[in-house]
Amino acid sequence: MTKTKKQIAIQGWPGANHEIAAKAFFEADDIEVIPCLTFPDLFETLKNNRQCYGIIAIENTLVGSLLPNYTMLKDSDLVIIGEYKLRIKHQLLALPGQHISDIHEVYSHPMAIAQCEAFFKQYPHIKLIESEDTALSAKRIADNQQPGVGAIASELAAEMYQLDTLAHNIETNKRNYTRFLIISDRGKTEVDELLDQNRVNKSSLVFALPHEEGSLSKILTILAFYNINLTKIQSLPIVGQEWEYLFYVDLTFNDYKRYLQSLDAIRPLTSKLKSLGEYEAGRQSYPINNGHLEIEQAQ
Catalytic residues: 178, 180
| Cβ atoms of 171 and 90 closer than 8 Å | yes
Q: How far, in Å, CA of 120 to CA of 118, rounded?
A: 6
Give residues with Cβ within 8 angstroms of 51, minimum separation 6: 7
| Cβ atoms of 36 and 10 closer than 8 Å | yes
Structural Rg of the chain based on CA atoms: 21
Query: What is the enclosing helix (H) or strand (E) of 121?
Result: none
What residue ranges in the chain does DSSP mark as E strands? 5-11, 30-36, 53-60, 64-65, 79-87, 91-94, 105-108, 127-130, 149-153, 164-167, 177-184, 202-208, 229-237, 245-252, 271-279, 283-287, 293-297
| Cβ atoms of 84 and 180 closer than 8 Å | yes
